[in-house]
């Protein structure tokens, strides 16, 4: 009667343990402590499933084993535990040294183990581990009643352990998600959930707190500058300058002086010293867009900037230090350019410490509905249009398009449609592609000039009046944009 009461008290204790301990490690220690105390065991350990372990299981907690010899001592019990894990049945032996089931285990004899009790841990039909107890002090240290108790105890423990592990996993995931949410404006304007896109963003996330060079590759219009800005705005140099240099937009003879600056008298017209963009970016990030267009004559100087963190202004005799992070981007295959002798191999390797490839829009079609609604909402606000949604037929058309200009072309298409729309929902007729432009504009009672002006003014507003970025965004030259703005100012 007394033993039944003790069993009840022990089971009550494990129930309290389940309700009060959610840390897996702490719970496992407590489970072993209760089992050993109630059964007066000399030693014990708990083993759990582990796919990475050689035997598929690993010891997670133990008591009264020599910590320096624990591996050898656990090995002495391996034949017992292996039998329990394979059969799913508990083992109780009153005299292990004379038990024929373990006569081949020299280690049991060497350690003079007498009594052993071992039960499997089950969750449903799945065996998740085992509890092992032994004693070398007396035979029959464990009874049949002890086996019944430990079996029930083990079932309760298995449930408790699994719940604690799940809770711990949820806590870790919660911490991860909170860290993402709390990161200021992290990726707030980067839309997409397709596998390839998320894979690229994961690399972006990993380089935020590491001040290394990054090379972003991808077709034109895939969002390379957007990603570069995200790295800067959420990285170690946030709040410092982010300077964009488009190698394809500058004449070859001007790139060096624009990048590094010059000193007075270095060439005709150099009447004063001028800071270069490298110096302007000091403390922040220098974004070298279209790096594949950089002349070979300048590539060595960029390599020196990367390696030595120093540069020399045109006409100067002294080097200047540069505290900058360099992010480069290209739509070219730089490996092919290296083989063709058009790009320095050492510069390529130095830039490509971390490579991020952005997939074309045709490879992330799952993101098209998300992007469409995002650009629609933004365009409706910018152009003060009452457009709220996209008709399913129009969405199917967007999904079927190849979008050779990628997200940039896609965004322009949505913005044009919003401007042309006369209702609250975009239809197929609101979208114009290529040769259809003129007739579509006539059908919507808007001249091409009116449409062009509306798009330019809205984009200029979006870029906070920055004409260079507006021209890049629209895919036109800065000179053409300035001509248009001057033309309208004279009206």
What pTM was computed for the model?
0.55
Asked if 201 contacts 187 with a C-beta cutoff of 8 angstroms, the reply is yes
Q: What CATH number has the domain bearing residue 410?
A: 1.10.8.60
- Does a structural domain hold residue 188? no
Residue owning tokens 């309760």: 156
pLDDT at 439: 45
Question: Is the alpha carbon torsion for 37, 39, 40, 45 positive or negative?
Answer: negative
Does 22 share its domain with 108?
A: yes
Q: What CATH number has the domain bearing residue 216?
A: 3.40.50.300
Does 199 share its domain with 147?
A: no
- Does a structural domain hold residue 372? yes
- Does a structural domain hold residue 302? yes
**Per-residue pLDDT for the chain (491 aa), expressed as one digit of tens each?**
445 556 666 677 677 776 678 888 888 998 899 889 888 898 889 988 887 776 678 888 888 876 555 455 566 577 788 888 888 999 998 877 777 776 666 666 667 778 889 999 988 888 999 999 988 887 888 888 889 889 888 888 888 888 888 887 877 776 556 545 544 445 777 888 888 998 999 899 999 989 999 999 999 999 999 999 999 999 999 999 999 998 888 777 788 888 888 888 777 777 788 888 999 999 999 999 999 999 998 999 999 999 999 988 888 888 889 999 999 999 999 999 999 999 999 999 999 989 999 999 999 998 999 999 999 999 999 888 899 999 988 898 999 888 999 999 999 999 989 988 888 999 988 887 654 444 444 444 455 566 677 778 878 887 888 888 888 777 677 777 887 788 787 76
Last residue of a domain, one of 117, 141, 172: 172
Last residue of a domain, one of 325, 359, 393: 359
pLDDT at 119: 93
Q: What CATH number has the domain bearing residue 136?
A: 3.30.450.40
- Does a structural domain hold residue 453? yes
pLDDT at 182: 46
- Does a structural domain hold residue 402? yes
Does 376 share its domain with 323?
A: no
Does 49 share its domain with 144?
A: yes
Does 421 share its domain with 404?
A: yes
- Does a structural domain hold residue 161? yes
Does 230 share its domain with 334?
A: yes
- Does a structural domain hold residue 431? yes
How many folded domains does the chain comprise? 3
Does 354 share its domain with 371?
A: no
Does 29 share its domain with 91?
A: yes
Last residue of a domain, one of 359, 387, 413: 359
- Does a structural domain hold residue 183? no
Does 299 share its domain with 161?
A: no
Does 83 share its domain with 158?
A: yes
Domain that holds residue 21: 2-172
Does 223 share its domain with 148?
A: no
Does 328 share its domain with 424?
A: no
């Amino acid at each position: 009667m007394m033993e039944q009461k003790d069993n009840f008290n022990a089971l009550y204790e494990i129930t309290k343990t389940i309700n009060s301990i959610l840390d897996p490690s702490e719970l496992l220690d407590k489970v072993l402590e209760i089992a050993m105390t109630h059964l007066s065991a000399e030693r014990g350990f708990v083993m759990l499933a582990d796919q990475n372990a050689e035997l598929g299981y690993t010891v997670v907690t133990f008591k009264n084993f020599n910590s320096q010899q624990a591996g050898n001592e656990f090995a002495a019990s391996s034949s017992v535990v292996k039998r329990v894990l394979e059969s799913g049945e508990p083992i109780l032996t009153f005299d292990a040294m004379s038990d024929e089931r373990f006569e081949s285990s020299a280690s049991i004899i060497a350690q003079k183990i007498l009594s052993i009790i071992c039960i499997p841990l089950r969750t449903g039909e799945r065996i998740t581990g085992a509890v092992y107890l032994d004693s070398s002090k007396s035979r029959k240290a464990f009874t049949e009643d002890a086996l019944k108790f430990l079996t029930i105890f083990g079932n309760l423990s298995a449930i408790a352990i699994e719940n604690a592990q799940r809770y711990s996993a949820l806590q870790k995931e919660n911490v991860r998600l909170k860290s993402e949410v709390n990161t200021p404006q992290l990726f707030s304007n980067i839309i997409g959930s397709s596998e390839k896109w998320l894979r690229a963003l994961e690399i972006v996330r990993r380089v935020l707190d590491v001040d290394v060079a990054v090379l972003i590759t991808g077709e034109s219009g895939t969002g390379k500058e957007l990603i570069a800005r995200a790295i800067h705005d959420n990285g170690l140099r946030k709040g410092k300058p982010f300077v964009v240099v488009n190698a394809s937009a500058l004449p070859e003879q001007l790139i060096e002086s624009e990048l590094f600056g010059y000193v007075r008298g270095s060439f005709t017209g150099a009447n004063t010293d001028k800071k270069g963009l490298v110096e302007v970016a000091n403390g922040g990030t220098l974004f070298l867009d279209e790096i594949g267009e950089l002349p070979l004559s300048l590539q060595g100087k960029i390599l020196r900037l990367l390696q030595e963190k120093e540069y020399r202004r045109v006409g100067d005799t002294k080097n200047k230090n540069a505290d900058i992070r360099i992010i480069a981007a290209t739509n070219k295959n730089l490996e092919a350019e290296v083989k063709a002798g058009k790009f320095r191999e050492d510069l390529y390797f130095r830039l490509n410490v971390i490579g991020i490839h952005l997939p074309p829009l045709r490879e992330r079609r799952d993101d098209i509905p998300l992007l469409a609604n995002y650009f629609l909402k933004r365009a409706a606000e910018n152009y003060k249009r009452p457009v709220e949604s996209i008709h399913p037929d129009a969405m199917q058309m967007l999904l079927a398009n190849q979008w050779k200009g990628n997200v940039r072309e896609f965004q322009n298409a949505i913005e044009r449609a919003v401007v042309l729309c006369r209702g609250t929902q975009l239809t197929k007729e609101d979208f114009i592609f290529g040769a259809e432009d003129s007739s579509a504009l006539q059908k919507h009672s808007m001249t091409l000039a009116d449409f062009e002006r509306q798009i330019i003014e809205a984009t200029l507003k979006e870029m906070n009046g920055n004409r260079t970025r507006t021209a890049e965004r629209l895919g036109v030259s800065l000179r053409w944009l300035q001509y248009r703005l001057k033309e309208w100012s004279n009206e």
